[in-house]
Amino acid sequence: MAQSTIAVMKDIIAGQSSPSTTFTYVPAETKKRKREAKLVSRPCHPGPFELRSEGVPDEQYADALHCMLRKCRRLVVVVGAGISVGAGIPDFRSSTGLFQTVKDDFKLKGSGQSMFDSSVYKDAATTSMFHSMVNTLHTLSQDAKVTKFHQMLSQLSTEKRLLRLYTQNVDCLEISLSGLETAVPLPGKAPWPKTIQLHGGLQKMVCAKCGWMAPFDPTVFQEDRIPECNECREWDSVREVVGKRTQGVGRLRPRIVLYNEFNPDGEAIGKVTSSDLKARPDGMLVVGTSLKVPGVRRIVKEMSAAVHAANGMVVWVNEIDPPAAKMFENCFDLILKGDCQDIPSILERWEKSKTRPKGAPSTKQKKFESAGDMVSSITSKTISENDRKITDVFKVKKKAVGRVNSVKLEK
């Protein structure tokens, strides 16, 4: 009886049978456990869904987003300038972004994107405008404070859920947080840092000739003057003393990657992405980027294929829709439109809405209680039937005895 009771409770808790089923006890060590998909919760359709800054989040996307961020172990995040808007740093392509403000401030005929092109050093006027813009952006970055979304990324790294953070931002807000450190220059072999700066950063200036680096100093980038490299100058002085011809002095520039120029970390970035693809990432967030840069588009496309192969989910978060390019068809499983800074509070509100009141039984306790009630009902039914049979026997005997006594009295 004890063994059958255990079997009843085990099968009821597992939800594999009903009370009318014949139960057979199977030892736990002989059961074969199937490997379940980590992301058991998925939206019925990708959306788009609007992010809500207040109230209970929409269950259609909140459960899937919460499930991914709390269960993924190899999460890849690709971010753009949109995540720093909340810190007071403008993005690039919006109506109030850098491209538009630069165009208005410097009265450019074309797009403000020309100020981020390698051709800025070919003309004294554009060099002066570029230095002014870079110094302004550096000041904004230094005064900015990390946002809630930045802190959430740091927490994901601390919890060992973040495989890699690929950032297009040059403000360096991400690398100021614990768990999101980077290396400049990027090493050519593993171990690689948690954060990969795809376009460099304003924390360093570099010599275009010898590669010497130092912390960025805005005071040396004034007007159209391109500062000389101290390292090159000293080396040339030494060569002159020993009677060798000079090799020339290099020029300093911010260590950021401009349009139409070689990325010094390009080869190392390729090795990192190859390694991450082999690691089978199980989730990806694409946040605050319009995916206009070809290299970043390729990373997102290849990573999304790897995530889907691992039964993971790819999430798009932005004020705008994802690109309509054919290469991104069926790429995003969830599209969230709104401010990414609302995501941490959405997760918090969702968890509170699902938290059971203090003292209320948990799901596991409810299963045990229902199993106990089921066993009790089965046992009580069995006892009742036995009692009924015994009662019937006594009734027959009583009737027989009564008849015998009546016969004796008549005699």
List residues with catalytic annotation: 199
C-alpha to C-alpha distance for 334 and 320, rounded to whole angstroms: 13
Task: Say how many C-beta atoms besides its own lie within 10 A of residue 17's C-beta.
Answer: 15
Q: Which residue has the tokens 């072999």?
A: 189
Q: What is the 3-state secondary structure (H, E, C) of the chain?
A: CHHHHHHHHHHHHHCCCCCCCCCCCCCHHHCCCCCCCCCCCCCCCCCCEECCCCCCCCHHHHHHHHHHHHHCCCEEEEECHHHHHHHCCCCCCCCCCHHHHHHHHCCCCCCHHHHHEHHHHHCHHHHHHHHHHHHHHHHHHHHCCCCHHHHHHHHHHHCCCEEEEEECCCCCCHHHCCCCCCCCCCCCCCCCCCEEECCEEEEEEEECCCCCEEECCHHHCCCCCCCECHHHHHHHHHHHHCCCCCCCCCEEEEEECCECCCCCCHHHHHHHHHHHHHCCCCEEEEECCCCCCHHHHHHHHHHHHHHHHCCCEEEEEECCCCCCCHHHCCCCCEEEECCHHHHHHHHHHHHHHHCCCCCCCCHHHHHHHHHHHHHHHHHHHHHHHHHHHHHHHHHHHHHHHHHHHHHHHHC
Q: Which residue has the tokens 């995040």?
A: 77
Distance of CA 55 to the CA centre of its chain: 23
